[in-house]
């Protein structure tokens, strides 16, 4: 791939990048929404809802058909018996986040999984009662954390510690997170941060944060909603205690898709860990003995509550098959180029009206660039929308643009930048 210095603003250059792109054919694996005239829109919103894999419908219909043909027997018959359906994701789910098989289970929604993980891993004592969260965290994470603090009879104003950007800055400095942990480590029960910040697109150095947290005896967990399927992850090696993510953003598994949960193997083997229990967390061999006593299955599976929603889970098979076929390394290489090209073109737009708040180093960002528009941000959004570019707007002034390596092209990045330049400044050259 071309290094930053060798980009060119010519349309022909963008088209050449697409011709050279070894992942270009992945786009045909997805349904791309179209305009009234049948032309595909420029869809830069995969950070919010990923596009539908073409195979998803057939996989859902196969399970509806199994229900029609077999009724209850589909739990144990057919190619993909429902009883063990979640085990279909054991290996591929683990590969996505750099985990061992058994450390990952697909279940529930992200926030539900966060609650389950907090129930197990946030066990405050009078001395160690605080949760460290990043500033401007996704609201649901803040609600979940505050509700657990309150649930233990504690006061969020005392027990919640927030890592914030410095005044006048948008990004949270790693050194500031580390300093907070160094200073308050003995009071911190759990460090909980996102892997990639949903608003700024900043990637946090999860390895370093996990190491520092563990050195101070804190548990450490990550919300990977914007990280999974976007940046490389090695949760097992980083010795992270827990992680949760949703599957409808970069994983393309459909609206409200079944989410993911990681529990490090050292905890998965510990049956004595307190948890909110349900029958699907028990050993499948003995589950139907209907014993009153809860004995958790080893691994992340032991945190399951209910028998899984098969129709909602089926699209995950379509999605993870694509990730397995392409591999995160190849995806990431294209993503770095695609977003680097976007940054290059945005930098050429003159004027003060727009500013990228996402870090400039590719290691510190994923697909997404967050662009602050200094005045009349909604006009820019309107201009993009009127030319069938789908992006996401966060009031008051941030446009999030996510070129996704699985289905976006360099030419789309070029088109987007042209519209932005015409609306916001004068594109030079």
Ligand X SMILES: *Cc1c(COP(=O)(O)O)cnc(C)c1O
**Contacting positions for ligand X (CB under 6 A):** 109-111, 138, 140-141, 194, 198, 223, 225-226, 246
Cβ neighbours for 409, distance < 8 A, ≥ 6 positions apart: 14, 18, 21, 24, 27
- Nearest CA to 148 among 133, 163, 166, 135? 133
Q: How far is the CB of 78 from ligand X (least distance, A)?
A: 29
Q: How far is the CB of 5 from ligand X (least distance, A)?
A: 33
Taking the C-alpha atoms of residue 280 and residue 298, their distance in angstroms, rounded to an integer, is 12
- When the beta carbons of 260 and 421 are compared against ligand X, the nearer one is 260
CB contact at 8 A, 326 and 24: no
- When the beta carbons of 221 and 296 are compared against ligand X, the nearer one is 221
CB contact at 8 A, 244 and 260: yes
Cβ neighbours for 73, distance < 8 A, ≥ 6 positions apart: none
Q: How far is the CB of 171 from ligand X (least distance, A)?
A: 16
Taking the C-alpha atoms of residue 227 and residue 247, their distance in angstroms, rounded to an integer, is 11
- When the beta carbons of 92 and 230 are compared against ligand X, the nearer one is 230
Q: How far is the CB of 47 from ligand X (least distance, A)?
A: 8
- When the beta carbons of 54 and 394 are compared against ligand X, the nearer one is 394
CA 327 vs CA 229, 337, 386: distances in Å: 10, 16, 35
Taking the C-alpha atoms of residue 336 and residue 377, their distance in angstroms, rounded to an integer, is 26
- When the beta carbons of 29 and 45 are compared against ligand X, the nearer one is 45
3-state helix, strand, coil in the chain (%, to 5): 45, 15, 40
Q: How far is the CB of 363 from ligand X (least distance, A)?
A: 20
Q: How far is the CB of 197 from ligand X (least distance, A)?
A: 8
Q: How far is the CB of 259 from ligand X (least distance, A)?
A: 6
- When the beta carbons of 150 and 256 are compared against ligand X, the nearer one is 256
Cβ neighbours for 100, distance < 8 A, ≥ 6 positions apart: 94, 236, 265
- When the beta carbons of 141 and 301 are compared against ligand X, the nearer one is 141
CB contact at 8 A, 186 and 127: yes
Cis status of the peptide bond prior to 396, with omega within 30 of 0? yes
Q: How far is the CB of 212 from ligand X (least distance, A)?
A: 21
- When the beta carbons of 257 and 377 are compared against ligand X, the nearer one is 257
């Amino acid at each position: 791939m071309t290094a930053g210095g060798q980009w060119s603003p010519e349309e022909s250059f963008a088209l050449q990048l697409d011709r050279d792109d070894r992942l270009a054919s992945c786009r045909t694996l997805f349904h791309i929404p179209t305009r009234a005239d049948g032309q595909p829109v420029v869809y830069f919103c995969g950070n919010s809802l990923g596009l539908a894999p073409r195979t998803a419908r057939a996989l859902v219909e196969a399970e509806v058909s199994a229900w029609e043909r077999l009724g209850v027997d589909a739990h144990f018959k057919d190619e993909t018996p429902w009883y063990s359906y979640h085990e279909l994701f054991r290996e591929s789910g683990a590969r996505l986040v750099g985990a061992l098989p058994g450390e990952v289970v697909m279940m529930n929604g992200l926030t539900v999984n966060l609650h389950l993980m907090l129930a197990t891993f946030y066990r405050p004592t009078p001395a160690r009662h605080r949760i460290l969260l990043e500033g401007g965290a996704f609201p649901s994470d803040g609600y979940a954390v505050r509700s657990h603090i309150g649930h233990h009879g504690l006061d969020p104003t005392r027990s919640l510690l927030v890592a914030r950007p410095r005044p006048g800055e948008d990004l949270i400095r790693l050194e500031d997170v580390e300093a907070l942990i160094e200073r308050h480590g003995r009071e911190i029960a759990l460090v909980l941060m996102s892997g990639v910040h949903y608003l700024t697109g900043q990637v946090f150095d999860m390895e370093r944060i996990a190491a520092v947290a563990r050195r101070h005896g804190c548990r450490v967990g990550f919300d990977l909603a914007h990280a999974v399927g976007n940046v490389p992850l090695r949760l097992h090696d980083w010795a992270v205690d827990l992680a949760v993510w949703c599957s409808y953003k970069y994983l393309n598994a459909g609206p409200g898709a079944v989410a993911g949960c990681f529990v490090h193997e050292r905890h998965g083997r510990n049956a004595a860990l307190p948890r909110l229990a349900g029958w699907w967390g028990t050993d499948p061999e003995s589950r139907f003995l209907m014993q009153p006593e809860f004995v958790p299955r080893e691994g992340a599976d032991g945190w399951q509550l209910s028998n899984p929603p098969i129709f909602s889970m089926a699209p995950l098979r379509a999605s993870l098959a694509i990730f397995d076929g392409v591999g995160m390394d190849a995806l990431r290489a294209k993503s770095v180029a695609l977003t680097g090209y976007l940054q290059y073109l945005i930098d050429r737009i003159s004027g003060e009206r727009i500013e990228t708040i996402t870090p400039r180093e590719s290691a510190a960002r994923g697909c997404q660039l967050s662009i602050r528009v200094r005045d009349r941000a909604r006009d820019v959004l309107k201009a993009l929308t009127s030319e069938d570019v789908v992006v996401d707007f966060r009031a008051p002034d941030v446009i999030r643009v996510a070129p996704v390596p699985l289905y976006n092209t360099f030419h789309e990045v070029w088109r987007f930048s042209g519209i932005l330049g015409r609306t916001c400044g004068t594109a030079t050259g």
